[in-house]
Amino acid sequence: MQPEGNLILAASSRLRLFTLFILYVAQGVPLGLFWFAIPAWMAANGADASDIGYVLGLTALPWTLKLVNGFIMDRYTFLPMGRRRVWIISAQLVMIALLGVCALARPGVEDIVLLGIAGFVVNMATTFQDVAVDGLAVDIMEEDERARASGMMFGGQAIGISLATMLTGLAIAEFGPSAAYLLAAAFIGIITAYIILLRERDGERRLPWSDGQIHPRNDSIQLGAWWPILKTTFSSILLPVSLLWLPVTLVRGFHYGMFTGLTPVIGATELGWDEASITSLVGTAQLVGGILGLTLGGWAGDKFGAKKSTIAIFAIYMALSAAMFVLRDSWSDPDLFFIFVYGWASLDVLITVAALPISMRLCNPKVAATQFTLYMACSNFGISIGAWMFGMSEALGGLRNMFLLILGAQAIGLLLMVFVKYPRRAGVPPEIVEQVAEAPGPRPSIS
């Protein structure tokens, strides 16, 4: 085993946690730009809910399709560089190139289709980075690191979103959207340079032309054909406990898709704020959420467990949604708006951090990228549903009714968390993982 100075992920817990953190920060940059800064810019310049919902829907669409990415990554990779790192580097280089193209194209507020395409293609590249990082996390993290890793990953994503939202929002206000695209590309470039310096395991190559060889552990678990990958993935994903986990991930995405649309519209129409004011608030709220994810989220997961922590956060989330529904006449109150934005931004990070270890524990290491991606894709499909339904808010009775829909979805998630027994640990053969429960019992079930 080589020393930590050689940047071997398998040799250093601190390096693993920091690397997952910084990769999720990089992932948060295009999310902050396309999920918050661009919609705020659109809302402040007269775009209505249907236009914003259209752009958000296209932006979210690649995240619902990313299950295909997992199959590709589990089937094809360049093992001399590790199972995941070559995909991470390649995806981030494509992200940089596409952001440069967006800067040159310079779509305006009225160019709804072009803005949607820009959001789609950049987020498509980001999904490849996301799937590769998730697969890396499942591959290299020890069981006792999973709660902390979850906090580092999604705390880092929230921090990346917050910094991108604030900085790209200011760049748009001062210099226009092209400056924001270039700023995002430059930051991702710095992270890419860091990843090139790493190795996943001892003896591997840093670059395709460097010295190094395939690590025996990776060689032994790599499935080199489609049928074993498909068979192993679906035998794992179709276990009862896995099927009952999918709706929980869907609900988490649904309220995120709704809130990302509701926030700029309420800020612009009810309070009269411009894009700089909205993105500054959202960015700060995301930063607070990221810090809470890094600290409180990981601590709560270690102290109370994934299930109890997720139940508590769902209950608080429902209270926030119910309050916004009841207090419709006070939406123009800046204090209420502050509570709403800080509340949902923090709770979103915390619930993701709390629930992530359950997804990790359900994964078979041989198809970790594919199976974990299926869980994340279900959550992202919920984001798309939420974004599209927000775009139909007028037909559904107005913005207030959106909170009623969110509340109903959250109630479903809470009930599943209360009554379904999800696994407490990883490392169980997939054919019997459904028998691993939060409490003694023959198999997971709904009581």
DSSP structural state of residue 432? G
38-49 tens-digit pLDDT? 988 888 887 887
CA distances 390 to 47, 113, 344, 348, Å, are 14, 18, 16, 18
Is the pLDDT higher at 87 or at 238? Answer: 87
CA–CA distance, 315 with 407 (Å, rounded to integer) = 10
Q: What is the pLDDT of residue 414?
A: 94
138-176 tens-digit pLDDT? 777 776 776 677 777 877 887 888 889 889 988 988 888
The band of 235, judged by pLDDT with boundaries at 50, 70 and 90, is confident
Q: Quick count: other Cβ atoms within 10 Å of Cβ 142?
A: 10
**For residues 249-267, average pLDDT:** 88
pLDDT for residue 446 is more than 60: no
The band of 323, judged by pLDDT with boundaries at 50, 70 and 90, is very high
CA–CA distance, 301 with 433 (Å, rounded to integer) = 21
CA–CA distance, 308 with 416 (Å, rounded to integer) = 12
CA–CA distance, 186 with 336 (Å, rounded to integer) = 36
Q: What is the pLDDT of residue 218?
A: 66
CA–CA distance, 24 with 235 (Å, rounded to integer) = 29
CB 421 within 8 A of CB 252: no
Q: What is the pLDDT of residue 221?
A: 60
Q: What is the pLDDT of residue 434?
A: 38
Q: In a 3-state reduction of DSSP, which class is residue 377?
A: helix
Q: In a 3-state reduction of DSSP, which class is residue 128?
A: helix
Mean pLDDT, all residues of the chain: 81
Is the pLDDT higher at 52 or at 315? Answer: 315
Give the range among 326-330, 389-393, 406-410 with minimum mean pLDDT. 389-393
pLDDT for residue 99 is more than 80: yes
pLDDT for residue 339 is more than 90: yes
β-bridge mates for residue 199, sequence order: 8
CA–CA distance, 382 with 421 (Å, rounded to integer) = 23
DSSP structural state of residue 294? I
Is the pLDDT higher at 221 or at 229? Answer: 229
Q: What is the pLDDT of residue 366?
A: 67
